[in-house]
Amino acid sequence: MRRLLTILFLMTSLFCISQNKMLDSLENVIDNYKTQDTNYVNLRIKYVARKMFLTPTDSTWRAYNLKTLKISEQLNYPKGIGISYNNLGIIKHYFQSKPVEGLAYYQKSYAVFENEPKFQKYVVGVLTNIGLIYLEQQEYSKALKSFKALLHNPENKSKFNTEFYIANVFGEEKKLDSAIYYYKKALVGAEQINRPLYIANIKTNLGLIQTNAGFLKDGLTTMNESLDLIETHNIEGLRVTAYTNAAEVYLKNNDIEKAEYYATNSLKLNKGLQTLSTKNSALATLANVYNEKGDYKNALITYKEHIILRDSLINADQKLEISRKEIQYQADKDRAIAQIEIERQKSIKNTSIIGGSGLVLASIIGFILYRRKQEAVSKSKEAEFNAKVSDTELKALRSQMNPHFIFNSLNSIGDYILKNDTLSASDYLSKFAKLMRLTLENSEKKEILLSEDISLLRTYMDIERKRFNNKFNYTIKIDSDLDEDNILVPPMILQPFIENSIIHGLSQKDNLGQLKIVYKTENNMLICSVDDNGIGRKKSATNKTNEDNKSMGMSITKSRIEIINKLKNTNGNIEIIDKTEGTRINVSLPIQLAF
């Protein structure tokens, strides 16, 4: 699925862009303005809104907005402060591809505007930007919640923009019918105001979704309509994204030459803009084009570049930092509210005692105030627990796909290609692609079916067997009383232990290793065992390679189980058993049924 956003379509500025002929006169007025008052701030804001998106590569915009912010703070002018924060967020988020820093500015802007009715029209823009960060970081449920709230906001004067973003979310979630529905609704709104830029952008994304949904003829027709609009109206800012999407549409229609043409030209045009998400999409399509042409060497090189860039754009560390900022922002608000409530209750309590209505009345009031204070403190602790949950979940996502494993796998594929063993390379690449897809799909889920988790682990172990030249065999045993299609488990909770068994136990053996995965029930708990006949922990401890990764995997899994225990009031745990030959890990989890 492509990144469906394009910077020229984002209605992130809080005003509309006007014609270039106004800019010189407006800049001249600002340069000759003698007093730094609110009118001066408004002139600077108006200039930024009209010029910043026309010259996004201009590195001076950050300093310009920081100066506006400083003047606004000196004047204690909320409008100037909030808009300046939003503009700084736009620069970090879109111009510099630093969403974490952009989110921090958006939150500051929202804090200025949220409680003032007269500023609600600005809240629409800020919340849209926050929703787009969620979308880009694949936090689809949060993004959809933000956009659907905006859809019903009376201050939202460009509802077709919001419908466009909702369509993007559904597209990323592979809910293609819903995506097509909202793209067509957005298209009606754009056509009513007759804006070729918006129409072309909606059509390039609609064409891609129609193609992915199997409507190949409709998708190709819609995409060509978008390309025609871009040529007719010289919409250069949209050309890179449109070419990237067109490459995918032509590839699905088996027009390999045109697919290669549009993917290659998208990358060439993108060199000046450096829109990384679009470059990432073009690389993925070009890798598929080379694969279809049988050019496996270039397919691998391009795919590696795509993987590296994709992981730099959407990686667990960045998602972790964004979630931390989100949780911290909410926690700070909760603590502030809690502290105000505590102080208020203290004040009321003291006044009540001094004024006094008798010992009994004072006792009752004191008890009520104590309870309220405890509730306020509890609210603060709950925010801290939520932060721990977010931290642990995202660390778990990061640990599931060890970078060493990814690059070792890609290098193994490269070795097969260099040896002209295309059959092995294709088999390895197919398994690796399946593992990456399943991992990314399941990483956003709290729980998945046991059968799905076993399929994922089986693919992972197949890859590791091939990478280590079949140095070990594995078996998976499921007790007959377990219904693997009706039991839910946290995704890949056994993967760190299986990885440790293979890397630090089985791969060090001189003879063939055996790895056994067993699922059974005991005392209403699901017992998941990883049993190997490797060299054991004691012997492995002499080799310090990747010890940090081993302990991190164990620590993260323990934290995940602690959170499950607290949320579900259970007593799951991890048991490590050192055998005469090898190690066994038992992970106990509460049994949860899907139906």
Q: Is the pLDDT of residue 41 over 70?
A: yes
Instruction: Give 236-271 pLDDT, tens digit per residue.
Output: 767 878 888 888 898 889 888 888 888 788 777 766
Higher pLDDT, 311 or 457: 457
Closest C-alpha among 318, 326, 315, 336 to residue 387: 326
d(CA 358, CA 392): 51
Q: Is the pLDDT of residue 592 over 60?
A: yes
Q: Is the pLDDT of residue 225 over 90?
A: yes
Q: Is the pLDDT of residue 178 over 60?
A: yes
Q: Is the pLDDT of residue 174 over 80?
A: yes
Higher pLDDT, 62 or 28: 62
Q: Is the pLDDT of residue 383 over 80?
A: no
The pLDDT of 289-296, averaged and rounded, is 79
| CA-CA-CA-CA torsion sign (158, 161, 167, 169) | negative
The pLDDT of 310-322, averaged and rounded, is 54
Q: Is the pLDDT of residue 161 over 60?
A: yes
Report the percent of the chain where pLDDT is more than 90: 19
Report the percent of the chain where pLDDT is more than 70: 74
d(CA 534, CA 530): 12
d(CA 365, CA 77): 42
DSSP code per residue over 176-245: HHHHHHHHHHHHHHHHHHT-HHHHHHHHHHHHHHHHHTT-HHHHHHHHHHHHHHHHHHT-HHHHHHHHHH
**Of the given ranges (37-51, 329-343, 407-421), which has the lowest mean pLDDT?**
329-343
pLDDT for position 327: 46
Q: Which residue has the tokens 């017992």?
A: 527
d(CA 82, CA 41): 12
Name the strand (E) or helix (H) holding 575. strand 573-578
**Token pair of 362, please?**
């004072």
Closest C-alpha among 214, 151, 147 to residue 5: 147
Radius of gyration from C-alpha coordinates of the chain: 28
| Polymer length in residues for the chain | 595
Category of 558 on φ-ψ map: left (φ > 0), alpha (ψ -120 to 50) or beta: alpha
Give the pLDDT band of residue 313 (cuts 50, 70, 90): low
The pLDDT of 533-549, averaged and rounded, is 69
The pLDDT of 172-199, averaged and rounded, is 90
Q: Is the pLDDT of residue 397 over 50?
A: no
Going edge to edge, which strands form the sheet with 448-449? 448-449, 487-489, 592-593
**Token pair of 414, please?**
């490269």
d(CA 101, CA 90): 10
- Name the H helices within 37-175: 38-51, 61-75, 78-90, 99-113, 120-136, 140-151, 159-172
pLDDT for position 360: 58
